[in-house]
Amino acid sequence: MIVLTSIWTCWPVRSVSDIPIVLDAHDVLAAAMAERYGRAHPFTLLVRSWEFFVARKAHHIFVCSPVDRDTFMRSYGVRDTSITVIPNGVDLRAPEKAAPLPAEWIERLADRCVLFFMGNPRYQPNLEGLKFLSEQVLPELERQRPGQFKLVVCGGEAQGAWHSDMLFAGSLPDEQLKALLHRADICLSPTFTGSGTRLKILEYMAAGRPVVSTPKGVEGLDVAADTHVVVAGPDSFAGAILNLANTPDRARTLGETGRRFVEERCDWKTRIQPLWRDAIHGLIRH
């Protein structure tokens, strides 16, 4: 059996006909490109054409959400018996101890409500979200609560001018990333385009942090708004952050229920791995 981890890895085996092929689809790429560039854009059409070929060639497809399953079936005519939903997950094994927060970061974040964003700023959906935070959310927070907030961005450096309350930590070792994540008061996922599901939200919840996300950010995740995460549109995003900052008991409860959610449903080892293993074994037996 050949397992493809993206549609592009099908190219070397495009002519193979005597070995079963499984596509482990992290998203529906053409759907994401259509949101980003438009349905008629040449790159969208290129991606859609190749994704159609791979989807029809694969003997079976794994997707991470019912949303992606329905899109594959609707867009490419994939039968429901040829597609299996296996959610994304998070590693909940005993974590390594977080490194102490460096003294310069302790000083930078002293007496501030720390907002946290994880993701490479050069990735277009992340860049779009960070611009939204810089140009709309942080100015509104500063207007209503001057000097109260700092936004820490982990995952890479960003070029250009940004709001003065944004701190780019770059790419960090896991222990330093965990130190900043556990210092965070509120974690953010301002996502507007894309497909698949957002691993950053599961990572936030696993750390017991309260999360504010756009509706697109939680797409495909079976979370309940105001129970596991706060879901807010562009016009209410800053207000949702202010509400959590002003109600620490609610923020703590949100973090606790989010942690329980990933423990019960999203642990790679105990929940997700058996689903993937059993599905592969079933295909091999068949």
Question: Domain residue spans in the chain?
Answer: 2-85, 103-265
Query: Is residue 229 scored above 90 in pLDDT?
Result: yes
158 versus 65: the higher-pLDDT residue is 65
Mean pLDDT on 7-22: 95
Token pair of 285 as six digits: 């037996």
The share of the chain scoring above pLDDT 90, in percent, equals 87
- 72 in helix, strand or coil? helix
* Element of type H or E holding 237: helix 237-246
Q: Identify the pLDDT of residue 286.
A: 76
Query: Is residue 92 scored above 80 in pLDDT?
Result: yes
Distance CA 69, CA 76 (A): 11
Query: Is residue 96 scored above 90 in pLDDT?
Result: no
Mean pLDDT on 3-16: 96
- E strands along 178-224, which residues? 186-189, 211-213
Q: What are phi and psi of 165, to 5 degrees?
A: -95, 10
- Please give the CATH topology (third level) of the domain spanning 103-265: Rossmann fold (3.40.50)
Mean pLDDT on 35-49: 96
Mean pLDDT on 67-95: 92
Length of the chain: 286
131-183 confidence digits (pLDDT tens) = 999 999 999 999 999 999 999 999 988 888 999 999 999 888 888 888 999 99
184 versus 160: the higher-pLDDT residue is 184
